[in-house]
């Protein structure tokens, strides 16, 4: 019964799925029992720890969710290649961000175009997800949109409604999102996922940058949540001697230990490498950064990584279901387990909290430096990222910047090149944003409001009325004043969103790098000599 409780959520979802079917009650019950037993049998056989450990990464994937699961693993799907926006369920679908070279872009769909119907069915009344589902489909099939055009074209005027057929393709979302020189010395690769073939992609990116005169490689793994372990091994193999140990996985089953070594010749054993990490760097990102650190091959810069040192395997279940189960923990070449000591107690951003040295162990890198376990990879140089105000988080997460960018596109038909673009209409943004609903309190004001609630609960607020009123008055700041105060913090977000809508995603990254203070400071750090 204990085992059942720890996976109650997965089994509850299964129960709902079966109960909702049109099959007979006896068949439904038999199917539920069979799946229930299959899940517990597989967990008992394969799970890395005793089942009393709460593990958020072991999940049941029913047949109807297989396509989304495959998309997560491969980073591909069949569709038109565009981000859509539906501000009103009874209104049109808006094209927000078509991907460069996508079927949507090739068919002439641009940011600001509005889709009134999909294959003859009105989009009014559809949610954003329902609209997206209708746009997806088997590659090679055609979907026809009725589109209200934002701009004029060869045979239509701005505002005309035209039929636009789009042939779906297999859309591969890029795992390597940006490759370029930062200056005359530093080549830069931004990698956001570990999907199939990304190791070859890093090789190709390295060759491109080398031809441009790269003297030092910066591999940005910040906020990279990981993916395929074999691709992590492939990337490390580019820069260390053939036969080097990259990672070892150890499970509960006897004899299940696996050692992963590089099997190909490296492309460069000399070039200095900087790997950027943060609290969002997890799993395969930690394999790469941990291995390169343990092998004394790269300088790791940033903040401590997430601490997910678990290996998930896919096990088939009856009725075409699948179980993604944690079967092992992985260890870096020095022997460190990257998995956080505590699965559940983390900081607000999900990162590992402070772990005293008394709870950790020392390990040695290839050349004798001391590194420690306990959760995540600790960088050689700690460089913290920019800490944004509560207001900035609020306007971004509530879509205020996104909505304003759409407004800007409608009002500005052409812009200079991305290198020359700088947003200079902040008064217009303030006028737009101040009428929107979002929580604009400062962190101090939010804490004050919480304090007032606690004081009231403790019966102390009436005795402090004057002090609280004075403090509240000093913390009060109207929306417009606060928006103007945080102009320097907000403008880069606006510039990035606008750049994406005129010149696609790569342009947005290029604009973002202008104000990436963490990257700029990382470039000032010396390469560690071992």
Just list the catalytic residues.
283, 294, 308
Contact 208, 264 (CB under 8 A): no
* Three-point CA angle 244, 250, 251, nearest 5°: 155
Contact 454, 468 (CB under 8 A): no
Contact 407, 497 (CB under 8 A): no
* Three-point CA angle 237, 191, 259, nearest 5°: 30
154-170: burial string, b at 16+ Cβ within 10 Å, e else: eeeeeeeeeebebebbe
**What is the full DSSP assignment across 109-140?**
--TT-EEEEETTEE-TT--HHHHHHHH---TT
Q: Say how far apart CA 75 and CA 61 lie, in whole Å.
A: 17
Residue that has been written with the tokens 């072991």 in this structure: 58
Tokens of residue 117, six digits:
């119907």
Q: Say how far apart CA 51 and CA 203 lie, in whole Å.
A: 41
Helices marked H in 24-159 — which ranges? 25-46, 66-74, 103-106, 128-135
Identify the bridge partners of residue 261 per DSSP, sorted by sequence position: 245
Half-sphere exposure of 524 (CA within 13 A, CB side): 6
Tokens of residue 386, six digits:
């920019």
């Amino acid at each position: 019964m204990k085992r059942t409780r720890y996976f109650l959520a997965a089994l509850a979802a299964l129960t709902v799925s079966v109960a909702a079917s049109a099959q007979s009650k006896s068949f439904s019950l038999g199917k539920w029992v069979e799946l229930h037993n299959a899940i517990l049998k597989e967990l008992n056989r394969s799970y890395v720890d005793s089942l009393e450990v709460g593990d958020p990464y072991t999940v049941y994937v029913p047949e109807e969710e297989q396509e989304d699961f495959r998309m997560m693993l491969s980073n591909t799907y069949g569709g038109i290649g565009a981000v859509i926006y539906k501000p009103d369920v009874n209104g049109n679908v808006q094209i927000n961000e078509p991907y460069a070279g996508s079927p949507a872009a090739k068919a002439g769909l641009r940011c600001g175009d509005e889709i009134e119907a999909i294959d003859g069915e009105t989009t009014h009344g559809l949610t954003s997800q329902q609209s997206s589902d209708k746009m997806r489909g088997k590659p090679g099939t055609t979907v026809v949109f009725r589109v209200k055009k934002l701009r004029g074209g060869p045979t239509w005027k701005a505002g005309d409604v035209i039929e636009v057929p789009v042939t779906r393709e297999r859309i591969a979302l890029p795992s390597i999102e940006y490759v370029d020189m930062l200056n005359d010395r530093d080549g830069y690769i931004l990698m956001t996922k570990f999907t199939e073939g990304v190791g070859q992609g890093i090789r190709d990116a390295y060759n491109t940058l080398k031809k441009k005169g790269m003297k030092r490689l910066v591999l940005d793994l910040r906020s990279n949540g990981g993916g395929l372990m074999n691709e992590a091994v492939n990337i490390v193999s580019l820069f260390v001697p053939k036969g080097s140990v990259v990672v070892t996985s150890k499970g509960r089953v006897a004899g299940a230990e696996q050692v992963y070594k590089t099997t190909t010749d490296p492309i460069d054993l000399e070039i200095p490498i900087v790997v950027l990490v943060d609290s969002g760097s997890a799993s395969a990102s930690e394999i790469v950064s941990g291995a390169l650190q343990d092998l004394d091959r790269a300088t790791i810069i940033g903040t401590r990584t997430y601490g997910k040192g678990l290996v998930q395997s896919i096990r088939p279940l009856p009725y075409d279901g699948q179980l993604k189960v944690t079967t092992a923990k992985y260890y870096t070449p020095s022997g460190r387990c990257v998995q956080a000591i505590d699965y559940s107690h983390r900081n607000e951003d999900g990162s590992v909290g402070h772990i005293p040295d008394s709870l950790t162990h020392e390990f040695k890198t290839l050349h004798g430096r001391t590194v420690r376990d306990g959760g995540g990879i600790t960088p050689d140089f700690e460089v913290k990222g920019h800490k944004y105000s509560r207001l900035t988080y609020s306007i971004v997460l509530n879509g205020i910047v996104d909505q304003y960018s759409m407004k800007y596109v409608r009002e500005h038909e052409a812009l200079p090149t991305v290198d020359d673009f700088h947003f200079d209409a902040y008064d217009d943004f303030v006028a737009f944003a101040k009428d929107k609903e979002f929580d604009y309190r400062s962190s101090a004001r939010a804490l004050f409001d919480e304090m007032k609630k606690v004081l009231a609960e403790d019966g102390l607020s009436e005795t402090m009325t004057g002090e609280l009123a004075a403090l509240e008055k000093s913390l009060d700041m109207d929306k417009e004043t606060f928006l103007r105060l945080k102009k320097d913090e907000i403008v880069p977000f606006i510039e990035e969103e606008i750049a994406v809508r005129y010149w696609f995603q790569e342009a947005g990254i290029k604009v973002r790098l202008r104000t990436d203070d963490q990257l700029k400071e990382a470039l000032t750090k010396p390469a560690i000599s071992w």
